[in-house]
Amino acid sequence: DGGITQSPKYLFRKEGQNVTLSCEQNLNHDAMYWYRQDPGQGLRLIYYSQIVNDFQKGDIAEGYSVSREKKESFPLTVTSAQKNPTAFYLCASRALHGDQETQYFGPGTRLLVL
Amino acid sequence: KNEVEQSPQNLTAQEGEFITINCSYSVGISALHWLQQHPGGGIVSLFMLSSGKKKHGRLIATINIQEKHSSLHITASHPRDSAVYICAVRKGGSEKLVFGKGTKLTVNP
């Protein structure tokens, strides 16, 4: 089955620690995205990548970093500079068929600070 | 003011009722998406609209570009429709989506 996998499902971070959230897709999509979801708020874009070896900051990139060394993989690192990392993190990709686009989402990773 | 506003925030219905969720936006868009988020957190794409109306099973989505408004309708609602429904718009020429805060729907048996 094609889709997006994220791991782990739950992640605990200690003060001053960097943690990396995994996102893998086997859909052969070029565009991939990381979103953060907080209670009562809409999804907010952290980083996105339209092609391998290229990525751009989204609306809330401070305290986060990404890489896109392979088409299938788009890991997100939450650095110690992110002072309020507790949130639900969603990875997504986009499929384009003519003028139709479809968004695909992973199951998410819930990050909690110890 | 948010660029994408959804109403209502919360909606409770009885099984079988006709449901309408609204989305208004204040920017020029090239596409509007309706998404469904289940209690576990996973999100599924329901529709992408750039004009007119689309139907899939009991779900119908409409968009009025002039009025900057879209509606998602659910006919013959069922408890399994209970979820958060999210509207998102792609601003013209942008790679980014702007999301509404979602409408939490609960359908009671």
pLDDT tens digit string along A60-92? 999 999 999 999 999 999 998 888 999 999 999
Q: Rounded CA gap, B32 and B51, in Å? A: 9
- Chain A residue with CA closest to B38: the answer is A107
Cβ–Cβ below 8 Å for B41 and A42: no
pLDDT-based confidence at residue A1 (cuts at 50, 70, 90): low
Residues A48, B95: C-beta atoms closer than 8 Å: yes
> Cβ(B31)–Cβ(B13) under 8 Å?
no
* Integer angstrom CA distances of residue B32 from A12, A52, A102, A112, B37: 35, 26, 11, 32, 16
Q: What six digits make up the tokens of B34?
A: 């309706």
Which chain A residues are Cβ-neighbours of B102 within 8 angstroms? 42
Number of C-beta neighbours around residue A58 at 10 A:
19
Residue among B33, B41, B101 whose CB faces A108 most closely: B41
- State how far the Cα of A60 lies from the Cα of A81, in Å rounded to an integer: 13
Q: How close B104 gets to chain A, by Cα (Å)?
A: 11
Q: Is the pLDDT of residue A15 over 90?
A: no
CB contact under 8 A, A42 and B95: no
Residue A2 has pLDDT above 80, yes or no: no
Q: What's the gap in Å between the CA of B27 and the closest CA on chain A? A: 16
Complete DSSP assignment for A17-64: --EEEEEEE-S--SEEEEEEE-TTS--EEEEEEEETTEEEE-TT-TTE
In 3D space, the residue among A57, A34, A31 whose CA is nearest the CA of residue A44 turns out to be A34
